[in-house]
Amino acid sequence: MTDLSELYQQVILDHNRSPRNFKRIESANRKAEGNNPLCGDRIQLYVQLDGETISDIGFQMPQGAGCAISKASASLMTEAVKGKPAADAEAMFQAFRDMLAGGNNAPGKLAAFSGVRAFPSRIKCANLAWHALHAALQNSGDPVTTESARDF
């Protein structure tokens, strides 16, 4: 039995309570929306992409529309990718996905989400922001939903 404290690690509770980069960036040149229609979680992601670099990133979740896992994941993601090349962000997304699918831990603070592996019903929550980031970087424009991506 996995202890709850492995899912709700202190760093996750902290980022849920005080999300970083929790801001709207009206001037952002890349935007994406992520939806989890099953639970109603919604994220709006703003990315300022200058050349290949993510020079700024912010996210918003409507009041009550983000659980601790999805909000903390979005917050930690923005910290991890800010200032990094888009290719590095995509690589982190891959590492994050691999971790949740049972693979090795993702680098740095992202490893805090390794506990989600034991809670299959919450994997989509952890992945939501990353899928939105992927869509923003691809500049697809369409809202992403957890029901359209097979590996959510």
**Rounded distance, CA 2 to CA 6, Å?**
7
Nearer to another protein, 86 or 115 (CB): 115
Amino acid at 56: D
Asked if 120 interacts with another protein (CB under 8 A), we say no
Per-residue DSSP letter, 85: B
Nearest to 129 by CA among 51, 3, 4, 19: 19
Nearer to another protein, 1 or 27 (CB): 1
Amino acid at 26: E
Asked if 149 interacts with another protein (CB under 8 A), we say no
C-alpha of 115 from chain center: 15
Tokens 């691809």 -> residue = 138
Shortest Å, Cβ 16 to another protein = 8
Measured in degrees and rounded to the nearest 5, phi and psi for residue 22 equal -85, 80
Shortest Å, Cβ 10 to another protein = 11
# residues contacting another protein (CB under 8 A): 24
Q: Which stretch binds another protein (CB under 8 A): 5-13, 22-30, 126-134, 141-149?
A: 5-13
Residues 38-97 within binding reach of another protein (CB under 8 A): 38-42, 62-69
Q: Are strands 30-36 and 41-50 parallel, antiparallel or unpaired?
A: antiparallel
Asked if 121 interacts with another protein (CB under 8 A), we say yes
Contact set with another protein (CB under 8 A): 1, 4-5, 7-8, 13, 17, 38-42, 62-69, 119, 121-122, 125
